[in-house]
Amino acid sequence: MKNTLYLFLSLTLLASCDTGEDSFYHSNQAPTISIKGHSHTDFGKHQSDSVKFEEVYYQLDYLVLDEEKLDIDVAVDSIFRYEIEEDKIVFGAEKIGASNVYITVTDAWKREDKLLFNLTCFENLPPVASLQIDALQNVREYKFDAKGSYDTDAKYGGKIVLYRFFVNDKEIEKSYHTYMNYTFPKSGEYKIGVQVKDNNDEWSAIVQKTLTI
């Protein structure tokens, strides 16, 4: 009789545990993951970003909503190496190119959330020239100003280091300064141009304007 009662209580307890675990499984929410790239201000599900090849590393922050123990898995091709740390994934570029980074978070119940992050590694982005022409007080004297020029990858340390000025396609000055003054020999129509070089030794396209004196 005692053995029968013990067996009955044991089976009842096991059934209760199974029911409790099953109930907890159904009440448990699947984890959710969001990311924030270097160029983004908010966390989101789908983002893209780029990194210059000479940069030491690229940090991708992630946010997971779940109280359970989690596993983070990253799948990426050979363009980047990576290391998973608490609340962030650190990438290092191995070569130039674009990569799809697949990130999966899985909880103890094997429920998961996935997202795709696009990361591009580039060597250099060319600078962009800008030209402003202003008349000065002296007769036929003008100021050529390229201060509006910029390097496209300035946020990665790119900058303008040299300026070239042209009149009728002939270089008249190469300078570290953004502007120059020039006096025309006579009245007429002239093509004024400027070109800029960045700190990766890449020149921009020549920007030209027509000036009638």
- Both 42 and 115 in one domain: the answer is yes
Structural domain includes residue 174: yes
Q: Is residue 4 in some structural domain?
A: no
For the chain, helix, strand, coil in percent to 5 are: 15, 50, 35
pLDDT in tens, 105-158: 999 889 999 999 999 999 999 999 999 999 999 999 999 999 999 999 998 889
Regarding whether 142 and 185 lie in a shared domain, the answer is: yes
Q: pTM (2 decimals)?
A: 0.66
Summarised one tens digit per residue, pLDDT across range 153-185 is 998 889 999 999 999 999 999 999 999 999 999
Whether 21 maps to a domain, the answer reads no
State mean pLDDT over 84-92: 94
- Please indicate, yes or no, if residue 87 is contained in any of the structural domains: yes
Domains in the chain, number: 2
Q: Does the pLDDT at position 67 exceed 50?
A: yes
Predicted pLDDT at 55: 83
DSSP string of 116-171, one letter each residue: EEEEEEES---EE---EEEE-SSTTEEEEE-TT-EETTGGGT--EEEEEEEETTEE
Does residue 17 lie in a domain region?
no
Range of the domain at 89: 29-122
User: What CATH number is associated with residue 110?
Assistant: 2.60.40.10
Question: Domain for residue 168, yes or no?
Answer: yes
